Amino acid sequence: MKLTRMALAVTAVALAPALLLTSPSPASAAPVAAPASTVIGSDTENAAAIARILADPASGKGVIREANKALSGTPEDRVAFLTTGLAKAQDEDNLVAIFRILATNPPTGKAVKREANKALDGTPADRVAFLTTGLAKAQDEDNLVAIFRILATNPPTGKAVKREANKALDGTPADRVAFLTTGLRLAQAEDDRVDVARILARPGISDALRAAAEKAIDGTPEELRHFITVGQYQV
């Protein structure tokens, strides 16, 4: 399978930008298991079944390609597609979906990489399992690690970040995604405002530092962070 895997990897890397908007939350993957058999009986009914597959927005490029071949082929081609070809084409699409996940930028975490590679080396059923449930579990494992790293930073995180991080750790996978995507930024801004207020409360600070601090405390989370890490020292 090495040559096929290499070809799919090249295709997936070319398609990788389409996944950027799904990070860092678990990448949604439409491909799922193909029906064991969709043959109804008559060729007319089989052609109608294939047309329904083509109309399904979840159908990937491999399924669409093979379905169109079957429709333009013989009755035997349509039977072959519905009994075996559909499952093979679906697995091809699942392989591409997993390679695209591995090609995301920023890179996926260790758990997602580990489980994705297991799926690539496994069976078609393993790939379906990864895309339907395993990806979300692995992404949550990576999110847990990311939050523990935030709590372990030196210098230590502030009270608000600690509070929200621990809430996320004790919560659901969705809580951890929310913390990493928006909650951390807001909690850091809360801590930064406290730090700026402490600077303003110091006796004898310069007029320039006071003006910069007063501007920062009413600013965006990014402006607060810049003042705490850089701006106060420049003043």
CA separation for the pair 124, 126 (Å, rounded): 5
Q: What is 51-65 written as a DSSP string? A: HHHHH-TT--HHHHH
What string of H, E and C letters represents the secondary structure of 163-216? HHHHHHHHCCHHHHHHHHHHHHHHHHHHHHHHHHHHHHCCCCCCHHHHHHHHHH
Contact between 176 and 150 (Cβ < 8 Å): no
Taking the alpha carbons of 154, 156, 161, 163 in that order, is the dihedral positive or negative?
positive
The pLDDT profile of the chain, 235 residues, written as one tens digit per residue, is 444 554 444 444 333 333 322 343 444 455 556 555 566 689 999 999 999 999 999 999 999 999 999 999 999 999 999 999 999 999 999 999 999 999 987 888 999 999 999 999 999 999 999 999 999 999 999 999 999 999 998 778 899 999 999 999 999 999 999 999 999 999 999 999 999 999 999 999 999 999 999 999 999 999 999 999 999 998 8
Amino acid making up residue 117: N
Taking the alpha carbons of 50, 56, 60, 65 in that order, is the dihedral positive or negative?
positive
CA separation for the pair 145, 167 (Å, rounded): 15
**Locus of tokens 């071949």:** 69
CA separation for the pair 45, 172 (Å, rounded): 45
